Amino acid sequence: MNKKSLLFAFLLAMLTVVLVACGGDDKPAKENEKGEENNEAGSADKPKFMSLLTGGTSGTYYPLGGGIAKVISDETGIQTDAVSSNASADNIMSVEAGDAEIAFAQTDVATYAEEGINAFDGKPVKNVVGLGALYPETIQIVTVGKSGITSIEDLKGKKVSVGAPGSGTFINAQQILELHGIDIEKDIDAQYLDFGESAGGIQDGNIDAAFITAGTPTGAVEELKASAEVVILPMDEAKIDELVAKYPYYAKDVIEEGTYGLKEDVTTVAVMAMLVVSRDLPEDVVYDMTKALYENTDKIAHDKAKFIDGKTALDGVGIDVHPGAQKYFDEVNK
């Protein structure tokens, strides 16, 4: 091909490119404009599915989580599924790793995660933030009448469930036992069981007592009541004051007479249950989730739903709160 023909072919190709670009300018421009609008609203990054990590199926997290997941699904259009898990510490680690978007956790465990202590020793989480607090989680030290155990000090030398590995219950057990002069590794025969396994172990006589940190009444303990006299070990007022002074996320709590067939009120302590979310979730998505939860508690078929309140949702939360959740709480607490 001579130079003249080559030049002509080049000019023709360039003209074709220009014509195509001009001819298609209108439609792509509209698509781009729409895309930019979506990005500004955050909907371009809106997930289609989310996982909500809960806890063992015999605790409070799992059934309550099912109700919360349904509300979020119905109100936001994002399919959200409640998934059973080992609870607090493991839940936070899973959200940090990107394996889930939302999770239940105790407020104390969330604080440990942010500070990089206890189960998170030297590995503070960076990508997990708070959505809001839900309800008080009572530390219940459960045994039965025939065990002869009437005080926390009586647990020395006994076979005691201290919660599933990675759970907040384990840390509660460790701190409370230590306060009473009991080393979790040396002074008891520690068993690392979930709530259902703990109740079954007490019933079968395989263990003597169990720490259960959950909202009351707890399903596993209710099941135990059907076959035995449930005893909840009390905490002395002075010990409660000492515990709260050392760990401010604890608060005095009372398990009322009649719960599990108890003949009188039992004084103990509690932490708060909360939801944590991935920091990567868009602000508008978390705002919608938060609004959906705190304004539709009447649609959650669980006793603990009555405690879920936007006006107190930051009580006990010691970690950073997601901007989307904070925006909602700022609006309702004006």
The per-residue pLDDT for 34 is 30
- Shared-domain flag, residues 237 and 288: no
pLDDT of residue 59: 84
Give domain status of residue 2, yes or no: no
**Coil, strand or helix at 182:** coil
Shared-domain flag, residues 265 and 141: yes
For residue 32, tell me if it sits in a domain: no
The CA distance from 330 to 30, in Å, is: 36
Residue 37 located in a structural domain = no
Instruction: Count Cα neighbours of 120 within 13 Å in the Cβ-side half-sphere.
Output: 25
Torsion angle defined by CA atoms of residues 143, 197, 158 and 255, in that order, rounded to the nearest 10 degrees:
-30
Which of 226, 245, 271 is the C-terminal boundary of a domain?
A: 271
For 160-215, the pLDDT digits (tens) are 999 977 678 998 999 999 999 999 999 999 999 989 999 999 999 999 999 999 88
**Tokens found for residue 281:** 């979730």
- Residues 264 and 324 placed together within one structural domain of the fold: no
What is the 8-class DSSP label of residue 318? Answer: -
Same domain for 153 and 214, yes or no, is yes
Question: How many domains, in total, are found in the chain?
Answer: 2
Residue 35, pLDDT > 80, answer no
- Residue 3 pLDDT > 80: no
> Tell me, what's the pLDDT at 92?
97
User: In the prediction, which pLDDT does 21 show?
Assistant: 43
Q: For residue 3, what are its two tokens?
A: 């130079």
* Range list of β-strands (E), the chain: 49-53, 79-83, 102-106, 128-144, 159-161, 189-191, 209-214, 230-232, 251-255, 266-278
Residue 29 lies in a domain: no
280 and 267 fall within a common domain: no
Is 114 in the same domain as 207?
A: no
> 208 and 195, same structural domain?
yes
Contacts of 126 (CB under 8 A, 6+ apart): 96, 279
Asked whether the predicted pLDDT for residue 15 surpasses 50, the reply is: no
Backbone angles phi, psi at 29, to 5 degrees: -60, -40
**Residue 115 lies in domain:** 43-135+276-332
Residue 61 and residue 168 in one domain: no
Q: Is residue 20 a part of any domain in this protein?
A: no
Same domain, 151 and 256: yes
Question: pTM for the whole thing?
Answer: 0.74
Q: Is 77 left (phi over 0), alpha (psi -120 to 50) or beta?
A: left
DSSP state of 164: S
Stretch (H or E) spanning 309: none
Asked if 84 and 116 count as a contact pair (C-beta separation under 8 A), the reply is: no
The DSSP result for 51-111, as a single string, is EEE---TTSSHHHHHHHHHHHHHHHHS-EEEEE--S-HHHHHHHHHTTS-SEEEEEHHHHH
The answer to whether 62 and 220 are in contact (CB under 8 A) is no
Final residue in a domain of this structure, among 232, 247, 271: 271
Do both 164 and 260 map to the same domain? yes
Tell me how far apart the alpha carbons of residues 185 and 195 are, in angstroms, rounded to a whole number.
20
CA angle 58, 61, 64 (to 5 degrees): 105
State both tokens at 9: 């072919």
Q: Which of 271, 295, 321 is the last residue of a domain?
A: 271
* pLDDT, tens only, 218-273: 989 999 999 999 999 999 999 999 998 898 888 899 999 999 999 999 999 999 99
Shared domain check, 217 and 148: yes
Does residue 152 share a domain with residue 50?
no
Is residue 184, in this structure, part of any structural domain at all?
yes
- Identity of residue 132: G
Which CATH number characterizes residue 203's domain? 3.40.190.10
Instruction: Note whether residue 111 is domain-resident.
Output: yes
Q: Is 157 part of any domain?
A: yes
